[in-house]
Structure 1
Amino acid sequence: MSDDKTREIFVTGLRNAHAMENQALSIMKPQVKRIENYPEMAAMLQQHINETQGQIDRIEEILTSLAEDYSTLKDLALSLTGSLAALGHSVAGDEILKNSMANFAFENFEIAAYKSLITIAELGGYAGLVSPLQMSLDQEVAMAAWLEENLRPTTIKFANLKEAGQTAKV
């Protein structure tokens, strides 16, 4: 594979990752605003929102170092789909469970994206750009692990609230 093709793949992947992280924000921000009965979830989502902004900043720094820019069109398109997904879950009677499952799936998608970007960076001779990507990957792995560990307790709390006749709303 030529250096030009590898660079093209890398830049496209970075633009996609930038849009993906904006999509993540458009999913998490409405969720965290609606959470009432799950303070641990709200705190973790807020922490990850802050991390996600840092991930976006790192991607922008990498793109700038390559004399490239992110794709506003991709960002807008994925942000819109993220907002629609968040809205769709908000009408579900088990919104907190739907959000937990969707967030876990999305985190694993992000993990795969960063692993792929790191591989392309290494193949393309961009070893100096691996560290910020690895930092983002580590944050995604930590969030996915937290969501996985907390799916059972969140489900139990939801079921207990519902059984007690209390609002099980997020």
Structure 2
Amino acid sequence: MTPQENYHDWLRDAHAMEKQAESMLKAMSGRIDNYPDLRAKIEQHLTETESQIKRLEDIIDRNGISRSLLKDATSKMAAMGQAVGGMFMSDEIVKGAISSYVFEQFEIACYTSLICAAEKAGDVASVQTLKDILAEEQNMADWARDHLPDVTEQFLLRDAAEGVEAKK
């Protein structure tokens, strides 16, 4: 494959990844009851993710790339399975916070590679957009890492208290 073909394929992957993130963030946000700071940050990042999807679609359209509905559908199914699976864990909020951090690191790696691919494929018009998305993902990952101890502590306190729901 040429650098351009790889770049186009990776753009489709990034679009599918963001669609998966959108599904996961919606599911997580809808289930958080007792952790308002986490819920607010998830909702903020959901808004960013929706914007990222639009910006990726603009890049994809500008490059004349067909979108892969199959990849998007598969990603959404995976996100739904993850959300449903989390519903049955007694420590759902902690596992969700950890998973969110891990997923952000995956996105950071993908965008880091995608920026290099855009440069090699000659799509200089998209590089800054991809760097902007990367910065948003890095900010979310930093927030998730920095707040994981707080979410964990809140969970532990709630879980130890009689008659208090801790999991979400």
TM > 0.5 fold call: yes
- Which amino acid in the other structure matches residue 12 of structure 1? D
- The answer on whether the counterparts of 1:118 and 1:130 sit within 8 Å (CA) in structure 2 is yes
1:107 aligns with 2:104: yes
Cα displacement (A) at 1:167: 1.2
| Structure 2 Cα separation of the partners of residues 124 and 145 of structure 1 | 30
| Structure 2 Cα separation of the partners of residues 65 and 36 of structure 1 | 41
| Structure 2 Cα separation of the partners of residues 24 and 86 of structure 1 | 11
- The answer on whether the counterparts of 1:36 and 1:169 sit within 8 Å (CA) in structure 2 is no
Aligned length: 167
Unaligned runs of 5+ residues in structure 1 are none
| Structure 2 Cα separation of the partners of residues 90 and 69 of structure 1 | 35
- Further displaced range: 120-129 or 18-27: 120-129
| Structure 1 Cα separation of the partners of residues 140 and 77 of structure 2 | 23
Task: Give the corresponding residue for 1:43.
Answer: 40
RMSD: 0.9
Unaligned runs of 5+ residues in structure 2 are none
- Which amino acid in the other structure matches residue 167 of structure 1? E
Identical residues among aligned pairs (%): 38
Q: Which runs of 4+ in 1 moved over 6 A?
A: none
- Which amino acid in the other structure matches residue 166 of structure 2? A
Q: Secondary structure at the match of 1:17?
A: helix
Of residues 25, 28, 32, the one that matches 2:29 is 32
| Structure 2 Cα separation of the partners of residues 82 and 135 of structure 1 | 24
Task: Give the corresponding residue for 1:168.
Answer: 166
| Structure 2 Cα separation of the partners of residues 131 and 90 of structure 1 | 38
1:122 aligns with 2:145: no
- Further displaced range: 14-23 or 60-69: 60-69
Cα displacement (A) at 1:69: 2.6
Cα displacement (A) at 1:25: 1.1
TM-score normalised per structure 2: 0.97
| Structure 2 Cα separation of the partners of residues 56 and 69 of structure 1 | 15
Task: Give the corresponding residue for 2:67.
Answer: 70
Deviations 1:54-89 (A, max 9, x none): 111011100111111321110000110011011111
Cα displacement (A) at 1:169: 2.6
